[in-house]
Structure 1
Amino acid sequence: MAVDPEIVAEAGRRAEAAAEAAGVVVRMADPGDMKAIIGLFERTWGPGRSPDRSMLLALDYAGNTVLIATAAGKPVGATLGFLGWSDGLHLHSHMAAVVPWRRSGGVGYALKLFQRAVCLEHGVSEIRWTFDPLIRRNAHFNLVKLGAEVVTFLPDFYGRLDDVGVGSDRSDRFEVRWRLASGRVEQALAGQAHHAWSTTDRLPLNVDFERLRADDPHAAGLLREESRLLFHTATARGLRPELDADNDYVFTSDPADPADPADPADPADPADPADGSRA
């Protein structure tokens, strides 16, 4: 699919600006980067949790987005995505990792905007991934800062992971769709005001769920059960989760793209799962 050259050019400029603001260089990985990328992934999820070097090399050789971010020549972030075609051609963004001391510093944002620019340059206008809906910072990053939209709820999608961050917790996921040239995404990347969603249902996210899971697994498990019941119920009613100005979930039937009310997303439309952080 052809993409307007000006949109492609603007995506490249935005990616460059994001990398500069974060103090990193983002680029497609070279074969010599694979050891460092494996190290970044295993630092995040534990030994053996990264694709091996041969798999990363094959994905990279085929032209998929195996990306690395460096600062002063040292690796500080990486992401992995590959093409999928379930429910339309898209990039399935599977893994993204940033070293702990550079998180919340714009590195993940720079990686994502570079991934977007590469996709648009190659005529791919959609990226999908999944994330744990109870991780507040990820929900804000995905839905508000990037302008992605939730398309389905995937309970216990990966089964029991037993990785560094998740432990024995259930791997519930929201799948999001990032329509790269949409009005919603344009508004998000421009930092425009938060949309006021019409809603009657909400789920507060004022708990640091990762800390709760580590300090009180029982309480975290109760919140997990409460949330999955609410997500199931909302989906059955045709409602889509969004975040309000307080970063709490609200459930709405408003069009997913307020910039284009004539083209609402179907919240119950299943698509091929992806993952932006896998944790």
Structure 2
Amino acid sequence: MKYVTRFAPSPSGFLHAGHAYSASMAYKYAMESGGRFILRMEDIDQTRCTPEFEDAIYEDLSWIGLKWEEPVRRQSDHFEDYAAVLEKLYDRGLVYPCFCTRKEIAAEVAQSANAPHGPDGPLYPGTCRHLTDDERAERFERGDAYALRLNMEAALKEKGDQPLYFEELDKGVIEADPAKFGDVVLARKETPTSYHLAVVYDDALQGVSLVVRGQDLFEATHLHRLLQFLLEFPTPQYKHHGLVSDLKGRRLAKRDKAATLRHMREEGYSVDDVRKLIGFS
């Protein structure tokens, strides 16, 4: 099988050794299979993503010897695409506006001793799910802030009794359990998409056949499989790898300057040094 893989960083900071590991693994699968390697900029958050960090990503990936197809897709250039997908889901009753603030949601969750929890914490209690069209129109007219949430109940009803599966490389076929996420946010008033919606759309659009990413995103695959079903997108294979840690066993983060590829380069590390560090020597 010729794999089409991708590395999709957010240009909101400098890449660290963990990014180099993930990108190198995706690149290796593509090259060894005679496939293709794609680079994509997940720059949805326009307040944190900058051209400086995007340029640094190109520099760092080139430094460790990776090459990618051009042009590079920037998600911020395609907000209209995601909005169109959301509109279709909205028309099918699969998405609804939620006007609750984070404070209001936290207060309502706190009142319930048995509030259900998902991979990302307490699930949204569904306060706005049953607002009438008039109530929603009034809130829109007032200019209230809102999020667009997936109506999980409606989505599972559309799925019916049909089980959904995805294949984890080296582990086999896994049945998806998207209900654990509840009515997850797919967009906000000021941001017309979420990571979940954009990544599913872009992977399908770009023909990605193997998604290589960190183990911290494994649970999200359950939700992504449901979105693929609802949008009639193909399901790629997945490879969730272990996370790279520092010498103290802490997960690497962009805020940790010492772990960035730029800092390593400035300190005299060679490409071979970095490749040995991440296990690709």
What's the TM-score, normalizing by structure 2? 0.21
Report the structure, 1 or 2, having the larger strand content. 1
Higher helix share: 2
